[in-house]
Amino acid sequence: MNTPDTSAWPTPTLHARKGQLTLEELALTDIAERFGTPTYVYSRAALVGAFDAWRAALAGRRALVCYAVKANSNLGILSVFARLGAGFDIVSGGELERVLAAGGSAAKVVFSGVGKTRAEMRQALGAGIRCFNVESAAELERLDAVAGELGVRAPVALRVNPDVDPKTHPYISTGLKGNKFGVAFADALALYRRAAALPHLRISGVACHIGSQLLDPAPMAEAAQKVLGLVDRLAAQGIRLEHIDLGGGLGIRYRDETPPAVADYLAPLLAVFAGRPEELCFEPGRSLVGNAGLLLTRIEYLKPGEEKNFAIVDAAMNDLARPALYDAWHDVVPVVARDIAPQRYEVVGPICESGDFLAHDRRLAVAEGDLLAILSAGAYGMTMSSNYNTRPRAAEVIVDGASAHLVRERETVAELFAAEKPLA
């Protein structure tokens, strides 16, 4: 029997028992039989454990952990973090509605993003969010005008761009001069003066986020030093901040990465701000949900070829876009071990695109009809999915011990075009 190397799996609650995979105490074969495939499956214990690691690393500090909703916005996921006391980092009005529907507190919500509309500003001000992370001079002026129309003062932090190289994939780097995010560091002081002069704004803090899938704390520590210098210059001019938001970005292990433990990642940042009165805020996303989830899919066909063998599965690039978008690696594991010789396969979906792949050149001992688990799919999986080729999006399930909870029903084709009308 081809016994998997479970030590290589980054999901702490995924196990191989009696030749098949279980998540917590539930066999993945049972989940597939009950809910079908493709299905995203998440471990509640892994979600809680990941959040607890952040909370433990910040023990004794005045700090708030705001989960980055864009990583995975399912109401079931959000409700788990809301019950743990998390705040939330949002980038749209839709995400705000999700947070509130899941029981999250608006008073713990920070609103990031470069393109906030007037309607979204009104929505967030009406809800009473904690802070707007403002990303341009134009946004600052618009927010003041909208707050004035409502007769309120908007709490703001400027997201400053420290021009620090995070050494990550260029598509998820956000803190360099050429990125669209944040305000230039050289312009920050003047913009804070402008914010202080606007009648309908209240300066609350400063924000900084340099990128995602960070594996080395050094770039973030460098950015933190720059932010600290700005905070002190602002204080010297009578602008005192209530909080310092250092973003998220801590990476996870997909293949052979060695990300630091949360405590080790935060240690140099906390050292920079030791003894400071400001509250520290962090916005982790991937590190809370990435390794808590997997994508369960079934092999439809095995197609041998002259140069490559193909395992054609019922999941596709519309379900998990990261491989096609970033050439990202996700481990692929048979759910039931077979005592047959493994072969190398391209794991691909049925979408009519050559870029529709989930994994290249994987050594698998499988047969048609077998289940595969695509690991480390809890972050930027379902939230980036689409209906390309009129494919209904997957179901989502949270496993809690030996129980499975359907937290998103599988879409139907009828639902996909329910809002459309043929031309008369």
Report pLDDT digits (tens) over 192-213: 999 999 999 999 999 998 888 8
User: What confidence tier does 364 reach under pLDDT thresholds 50, 70, 90?
Assistant: very high
pLDDT tens digits for 368-412? 999 999 999 999 999 999 999 999 999 999 999 999 999 999 999
Average pLDDT, the chain: 93
Chain position carrying tokens 């071990």: 337
Burial of 103-134, coded b for 16+ CB within 10 Å and e otherwise, reads: ebbbebbbbbbeebeeebbebbbebebbbbbb
Using alpha carbons, list the distances in angstroms from residue 39 to 42, 87, 346: 10, 27, 20
User: What confidence tier does 119 reach under pLDDT thresholds 50, 70, 90?
Assistant: very high
Q: What's the CATH fold of domain 112-284?
A: TIM Barrel (3.20.20)
Provide the residue count of the chain.
Answer: 424
pLDDT at 165: 64
| Nearest-angstrom CA–CA distance, 409 and 74 | 11
| Nearest-angstrom CA–CA distance, 86 and 82 | 5
| Nearest-angstrom CA–CA distance, 194 and 184 | 15
Take residue 8 and report the two structure tokens written for it: 């290589």
| Domain 6-43+290-416, architecture per CATH | Beta Barrel (2.40)
Q: Name residues whose C-beta falls within 8 Å of residue 196's C-beta, 6 or more positions apart in sequence.
A: 203, 239
Annotated catalytic residue 352: yes
| Nearest-angstrom CA–CA distance, 165 and 249 | 13
Query: Does pLDDT of 169 surpass 60?
Result: no
Which sequence spans correspond to the domains of the chain?
6-43+290-416, 112-284
Three-state SS for 92-145 is CHHHHHHHHHCCCCHHHEEECCCCCCHHHHHHHHHHCCCEEEECCHHHHHHHHH
pLDDT at 217: 86
pLDDT at 177: 52
398, β-bridge pairs: 42, 405
For 356, the 3-state DSSP assignment is: coil
Per annotation, catalytic residue among 131, 208, 281, 352:
352
pLDDT tens digits for 241-280? 999 999 988 999 999 889 999 999 999 999 999 999 999 9
Question: How many CB atoms sit inside 10 A of residue 69's CB?
Answer: 27
